[in-house]
């Protein structure tokens, strides 16, 4: 199984600022995803970040708001830009182990925007 | 479009009692089905998954789930709940076709919060 770490684990930010969340995997993976879990809600897919290609965003999410980098097969970043209180959520990174068709999740980054 | 419904937002059981968490899905093709557990302050841990074959699947921590195609259900069960099982449980559905453009994109249910009384 893949072991995923995220930094920071939590942060409190002021509105209008940006935060970059890092995701590190202990093995090389092609497919990586970013999800958002708003307070009391389920998980919603933000974007797919595959190495060697531009991130693809789900409906309702745009690159200007959530720019993603995927410089190699073990690392990705998600930036939450120009934050507002509505961006307060847990952001989770996930990867797929294609050999077992199993998706693993990181511990999440809990973001609070004041 | 695919969707997942977990009808029970919150369930309370006594320790040692049996448990069943309901999950209904809507999916246009053969789905991959998953149950994840999220403990407070933790990420999601995979309990079990169903791809094909035997419709009763065994997972970790003594959990099992049964896929019923005719009912579009994938209910999670445990014969005897432990206090450490208190957490939020998510059912999820994903596409079956590895390599397809939607591969790995999971749709989650709203979650069921499990409280365990001593």
**B46 neighbourhood in chain A, CB within 8 Å:** 102-104
Structure tokens belonging to residue B70: 């005719």
Question: Rounded to whole angstroms, how far apart are CA atoms A108 and B39?
Answer: 12
Residues with Cβ < 8 Å from B11, sequence gap 6 or more? B19, B21, B112, B113, B114, B115
pLDDT of residue B30: 74
Counting residues of chain B whose pLDDT is more than 90, the rounded percentage is 73
B113: burial class by Cβ within 10 Å (0-12, 13-18, 19+)? middle
Q: Does B86 or A101 have the greater pLDDT score?
A: B86
Distances (CA, A) of A65 to A43, A59, B10, B53: 18, 13, 34, 42
- Comparing alpha-carbon positions, the chain B residue that sits nearest to A42 is B110
The pair of three-digit structure tokens given for residue B103, joined into one six-digit string: 């591969």
Section A27-50 average pLDDT: 91
Beta carbons of B106 and A103 less than 8 Å apart:
yes
Who among B46, B90, B111 is closest to A102 (CB)?
B46
pLDDT band with cut points at 50, 70 and 90 for residue B97: low
The pLDDT score that the predictor gives to residue B101 is 59
Q: Is the pLDDT of residue A66 over 90?
A: yes
B69: closest CA of chain A, how far (Å): 20
Considering CB atoms only, which of B43, B49, B111 is closest to A102? B49
pLDDT at residue B110, as a whole number: 94
Q: Does residue A40 surpass a pLDDT of 90?
A: no
What does the pLDDT read at residue A11?
Answer: 97
Cβ pair B94:A103 closer than 8 A: yes
When pLDDT is cut at 50, 70 and 90, the band that residue B98 belongs to is low
Contact A41/B at CB under 8 A: yes
Name which of A75, A61, A24, A103 is nearest B102 in CA terms.
A103
- Residue of B27 and A34 predicted with greater confidence: A34
Greater confidence (B85 vs A53) lies with: B85
Q: Decide if B106 and A102 are in contact by the 8 Å CB cutoff.
A: no
Contact list, B90 vs chain A (CB under 8 Å): 42-43
* Per-residue confidence band for B51, with pLDDT thresholds at 50, 70 and 90: confident
CB pairs under 8 A between A and B: 49
Please give the average per-residue pLDDT across B24-51, as a whole number: 88
φ/ψ region of B83 (left if φ > 0, alpha if ψ in -120 to 50, else beta) reads alpha
């Amino acid at each position: 199984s893949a072991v995923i770490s995220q930094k920071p684990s939590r942060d409190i930010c002021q509105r209008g600022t940006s935060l970059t969340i890092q995701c590190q995997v202990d093995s090389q993976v092609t497919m990586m995803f970013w999800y958002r879990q708003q307070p009391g809600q389920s998980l919603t897919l933000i974007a797919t970040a595959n190495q060697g290609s531009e991130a693809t965003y789900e409906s309702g999410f745009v690159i200007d708001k959530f720019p993603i980098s995927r410089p190699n097969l073990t690392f990705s970043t998600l930036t939450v830009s120009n934050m507002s209180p509505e961006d307060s959520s847990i952001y989770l990174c996930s990867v797929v182990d294609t050999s077992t068709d199993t998706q693993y999740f990181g511990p999440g980054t809990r973001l609070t925007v004041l | 479009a695919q969707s997942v419904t977990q009808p029970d937002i919150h369930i309370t059981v006594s320790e040692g009692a049996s448990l069943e968490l309901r999950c209904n899905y809507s999916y246009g093709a053969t789905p991959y089905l998953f149950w994840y557990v999220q403990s407070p302050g933790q990420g999601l841990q995979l309990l079990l998954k169903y791809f094909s074959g035997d419709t009763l699947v065994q997972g970790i921590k003594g959990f099992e789930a049964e896929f019923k195609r005719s009912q579009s259900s994938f209910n999670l069960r445990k014969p005897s709940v432990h206090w450490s099982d208190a957490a939020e449980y998510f059912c999820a559905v994903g596409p079956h076709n590895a390599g397809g453009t939607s591969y790995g994109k999971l749709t989650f249910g709203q979650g069921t919060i499990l409280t365990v009384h001593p």
